[in-house]
Amino acid sequence: MIFDADSHVMEVEDWLRGYADPDMREQLGPLGLEKAGKDAANLLASLPELWERQRNEQVSADVISGPKGWRAPGALDPGEELDAALGLGVSAVWVSSEAPGSFSPAHVDLEPVWARLGEAGVPFVLHVGGGKLLPREFHENGRPRPADWLGGGENLRGKDFPVLHHSPERFLACLVLDGVFHRHPQLRGAAIELGASWVPGMLRNLDHAHRSFSKFEPLLQELELQPSDYIRRQVRFTPFPFEDTAWLIEQCGPELFMFSTDYPHPEGGRRPFEKFGDALAGFDDAVRDQFFWRNGAGHFGLT
């Protein structure tokens, strides 16, 4: 059993217009493909024939060597995935991990939002790209700026990666310490494609903040659990394949982490199943089941 907490669909030019109400449809422009490369439009035109050929082909065991982006089997074709997704009832809401304007995500005006998500059993999801990376000023070192790791200008660079978690960590810390998870115990959230090596430190820092400041701050006094226990109860994380997943489980327990591949994007590594399988080889079947499917499927309401 596998639950992939980070697989993608690829948008095409009319991905939104075709589903919009008629009075809104004409106000929506097409998907801009300028940054996707000069051959993107020709590629999209060839997709129906490509997908038809792929229907009876076996997906490559090494996902990196197989077709990517729009070419990947199941990347968009609703015949490959829509019925299965609807049948499973998959549902989640992406939110930015930045402050929603000039106030905190834990602001009193947002209480109805968190309450509604909790009542509906629909998790919120934080994802890479949904928060600010290293401020541009720190990239200005007086030298030519390198291309990103995929050869373009939109993705991560070396100095971005170590601070990737700063935005989601701030977001979750506010929800915990300002009592959002306490007031809405059914609310669930997940941090996807943001790594997890930062999670043990965050748990410890949240509890330390509670010990050090609860004497002076009424909202901290209202918490009935340790701050880290709200995270354990209500939030899940996806490690990168190159992180030490065994260490994360040893430090935090097996309930916090979910398997993901990032398919059909290349960030998930060449052999994610084998990589994570090797990392969990020293744990019993119950822990492996938690990581590979129970934590994710349960968190997204599929069990």
- Angle between helices 199-213 and 245-252 in degrees, nearest 10: 30
In the chain, what is the greatest distance between 2 CA atoms, to the nearest angstrom? Answer: 66
**CA-to-CA distance for 262 and 240, rounded, in angstroms?**
10
Residue 11 and residue 31 in contact, taking contact as beta carbons nearer than 8 Å = yes
Residue 259 and residue 293 in contact, taking contact as beta carbons nearer than 8 Å = yes
Annotated domain spans of the chain: 17-85, 93-299
What does the pLDDT read at residue 78?
52
What does the pLDDT read at residue 296?
95
pTM: predicted TM-score of the whole model, two decimal places = 0.77
Q: Which residues pair with 190 in a beta bridge?
A: 125, 236
Strand order in the sheet with 93-94: 93-94, 124-127, 189-192, 235-237
3-state secondary structure 150-176: CCCCCCCCCCCHHHCCHHHHHHHHHHH
What does the pLDDT read at residue 220?
97
pLDDT along the chain (303 residues), means of 10: 86 75 83 68 78 71 65 62 52 86 92 86 88 88 80 72 94 98 97 96 98 96 97 97 96 96 83 94 97 95 84
Out of 3.40.50.880, 3.20.20.140, 3.20.20.70, 3.50.50.60, the CATH code matching 93-299 is: 3.20.20.140
What does the pLDDT read at residue 290?
97
Cα separations in angstroms, 249 against 9, 204, 229, 283 = 30, 15, 15, 10
